[in-house]
Amino acid sequence: MKVLERYIECMRKGDQAGLADLFSEDGVLHDSSLHKIGQDTMHLEGKMAVEMMFHHKFGFNGGPFPITGVRMKDDNAIWYFIQYNQQVVQVMAYLSEMDEQGRIRRLNIYHL
């Protein structure tokens, strides 16, 4: 299974530890798709920051985020719809850098 497919699986399950394990120790998750629902960009640096933030996010969301319509563009890009509360946002996750062990060094998420 490709890293972006595992990312989607962890988001669907609400698995913050599994999600964090996809990132290198200094990995970056930069999510500007939140602008679409009036929230600030989420910029996380480090595996621990990813785990802590998504523990918080899944908790306040009442569990995993509903994700539908997943389409792989290629090994480095995936499109999907994610539901934040009652709003559905179409996004693209772009894997721009990985480390030697196949972990994410930088993942950018944009709304479409």
Residue pLDDT, tens place only, 4-34: 999 999 999 999 999 999 999 999 999 999 9
Q: What is the mean pLDDT of residues 48-71?
A: 89
Residue 35 pLDDT:
92
Sign of CA dihedral 33, 39, 45, 49: negative
The pLDDT of residue 64 is 85
60-86 pLDDT per residue, tens: 777 788 999 999 999 999 999 999 888
Return d(Cα 31, Cα 52) in angstroms, integer.
Answer: 15
User: Are 83 and 65 in contact, with CB atoms under 8 Å apart?
Assistant: yes
Q: Using an 8 Å Cβ cutoff, are 92 and 78 in contact?
A: yes
Residue 91 is predicted with a pLDDT of 97
What are the start-end ranges of the E strands in 7-103? 23-31, 42-45, 67-74, 77-84, 87-98
102: pLDDT confidence band, cut at 50, 70 and 90? Answer: very high
Partners of residue 78 on adjacent β-strands:
72, 93
* Model pTM score: 0.92
Does pLDDT of 96 surpass 90?
yes
Are residues 29 and 42 in contact, defined by beta-carbon separation less than 8 angstroms?
yes
Amino acid at 30: H
